[in-house]
Amino acid sequence: MSDYAERDQGTLWHPFTQQSEWADGRPLTIERGEGNYLIDTEGNRYLDAISSMWVNMHGHDHPVIRRHIHEQLDRLAHSTLLGLASPPSIELAEKLVALAPPGIARVFFSDNGSTAMEIALKMAFQFWQQSGDADARRRTRFIALREAYHGDTMGAVSVGGIEAFHAAFGPLTFDVLRAENAHCYRCPYGKTFPECDIHCLESLEGLLDAHGDEVAAVVAEPLVQAPGGMLMLPDGWLARTRELCDRHGTLLILDEVATGFGRTGRMFACEHEGVTPDLMALAKGLTGGYLPLAATLATERIYEGFLGPVADRRQLFHGHSYTGNALGCAAALGSLEVFETEGVLERVQQTSAQLAKRLDELRSLPSVGDVRQRGLMAGVELVQDRETRQPFDPEDRVGHLVCMAARKYGVILRPLGDVIVLMPPLSVSAEEIDLLSDVLARCITEVTGD
């Protein structure tokens, strides 16, 4: 075992990791990145097929992003936005507003996806509380989806709906109205899209009919409910949800933390259905995967709801020490330059089509129950019986074993239960998609005996 591995086991506490099991294994210690590959302390190379937890967009050590960071570092690493302004945050805010759906006008920076969502929830709540309308102040509740995930701070946990992640903190959270998710492969209504006419939306519609005047906002990830198991919302779901929110006068918060910045083939997933949310959370790919930075985007209507004399105390009482960090903003500006100069979105259209073709070949494997994809976001659900869709026993950890096996062939993957997540960098090549697909098929066969 390397010295780093021993030191890791002696000091570190890893996220979403059972440490007693971690201590029994051999940690893979990554020390370098080149392009779409990670390199461990022993010199082994691995295709980063999960974009280092969905954040890396253009590959590791991209010269444009590195240049932006270095140039900013020569001037200033960080200065607070509390009472001061900074050029990188101003420039980035302007670019984000220009790229965002029509109507988005303001940018509030933070550190990660969870805080971006926390801020959106606070904004929505406070907006109604200081609206000056007694009826509006009744809007104190949120509607979120079952199997949703929006981060790990307490507000984000409250609107999350994944039992395994959130049950332990139930006593600390606030009550949320829970609408049915669009899980087409395991539809709770036994229906099939598109004949179902998005029947699952009746759950959301029913909640708004019953509680609409109490609801501050509806919260959802657009198109792809990623941590819930790469669940794909059917075409039309998002546009109809926007219509329902408008009908009931409630706000719409979209969590674009995972789906934003080209993952689905458009800069933001909500663009696919021409939807403008009232509040939108961005993080992960914002800096191209180089530095922690997040943003909560708002319409002018929301922003104006916080204006008034200082004595009225209408300002948003929220902030972070590293809000609008100069180096993070510089990295984000570098990432956006890559989008502009390297035809990234056009390339995603091509590579996602190839990925779809290769993943379709996996359907012939007996243990592959479903393949779900939107752009370069995909999930392959493994099942014990494809005819009945019976899952594997969770204790067998089939998805985990498949991902561990992939490391032998130079590919880093990570599962969500028995759903294998594929989310390579947007810079992934045709040859790397073939490698990823071949390795996944081989490892599924090895682990399941297909």
Average pLDDT over residues 438-450: 95
**Contact assessment for residue 366 and residue 387, using Cβ atoms and an 8 Å cutoff:** no
**What amino acid is encoded at 263 in this protein?**
R
Which positions ≥6 away from 225 have C-beta within 8 Å? 145, 147, 148, 149, 181, 182, 231, 232, 233
List 104's β-bridge partners, or say none. 299
What is the spatial distance between Cα 365 and Cα 441, in angstroms, rounded to a whole number? 8
Q: What is the model's pLDDT at position 440?
A: 98
Which positions ≥6 away from 71 have C-beta within 8 Å? 330
Q: What is the model's pLDDT at position 1?
A: 47
List the domain range (segments joined by +) for residue 377: 3-58+343-448
Residues 350 and 334 in one domain: no
Residue 405: pLDDT above 70? yes
Tokens, residue 83 = 């009472």
Average pLDDT over residues 12-33: 88
Give the CATH number, domain containing residue 232: 3.40.640.10
Residue 37: pLDDT above 70? yes
List 385's β-bridge partners, or say none. 390
Residues 271 and 138 in one domain: yes
Residue 108: pLDDT above 50? yes
Average pLDDT over residues 179-189: 92
Domain boundary among 290, 310, 341: 341
Least confident of 128-132, 219-223, 357-361: 128-132
Among candidate residues 353, 259, 285, 378, the one with its CA nearest the CA of residue 59: 285
What is the spatial distance between Cα 94 and Cα 25, in angstroms, rounded to a whole number? 47
What is the spatial distance between Cα 337 and Cα 326, in angstroms, rounded to a whole number? 16
Q: What is the model's pLDDT at position 2?
A: 58
Residues 376 and 283 in one domain: no
Q: What is the model's pLDDT at position 81?
A: 96
Q: Quickly tell me which residue has 């979209």 as its tokens.
A: 254
DSSP sequence for 19-50: HHHHTTS----EEEEEBTEEEETTS-EEEETT
What is the spatial distance between Cα 389 and Cα 382, in angstroms, rounded to a whole number? 9
Q: What is the model's pLDDT at position 164?
A: 87
What is the spatial distance between Cα 254 and Cα 245, in angstroms, rounded to a whole number? 12
- Give the model confidence (pLDDT) of 275-309 as tens digits: 999 999 999 999 999 999 999 999 999 999 999 99
Tokens, residue 376 = 């370069």
Which positions ≥6 away from 107 have C-beta within 8 Å? 92, 93, 96, 97, 295, 296, 297, 298
Domain boundary among 341, 375, 395: 341
Tokens, residue 296 = 């909560």
Among candidate residues 322, 323, 257, 321, the one with its CA nearest the CA of residue 289: 257
Residues 279 and 347 in one domain: no
Q: What is the model's pLDDT at position 450?
A: 75
Among candidate residues 253, 260, 250, 248, the one with its CA nearest the CA of residue 238: 253
Residues 355 and 279 in one domain: no
Domain boundary among 341, 361, 382: 341
Residues 234 and 380 in one domain: no
Average pLDDT over residues 405-425: 97
Residues 254 and 374 in one domain: no
Domain count within the chain: 2
Q: Quickly tell me which residue has 């006068």 as its tokens.
A: 249
Residues 102 and 11 in one domain: no
pTM of the predicted protein model: 0.96
- Give the model confidence (pLDDT) of 221-260 as tens digits: 999 999 999 999 999 999 999 999 999 999 999 999 999 9
Tell me which H or E stretch contains 108. strand 104-110
- Give the model confidence (pLDDT) of 336-355 as tens digits: 999 999 999 999 999 999 99
Q: Which residue has the higher pLDDT, 430 or 1?
A: 430
Query: Mean pLDDT of all residues in the chain?
Result: 95
Residues 54 and 72 in one domain: no
List 107's β-bridge partners, or say none. 297
Residues 381 and 312 in one domain: no
- Give the model confidence (pLDDT) of 38-57 as tens digits: 999 999 999 999 999 999 99
Give the CATH number, domain containing residue 392: 3.90.1150.10
Residues 121 and 264 in one domain: yes
CA angle 207, 209, 215 (to 5 degrees): 65
Among candidate residues 142, 227, 242, 223, the one with its CA nearest the CA of residue 184: 223
Residues 54 and 155 in one domain: no
**Contact assessment for residue 283 and residue 293, using Cβ atoms and an 8 Å cutoff:** yes
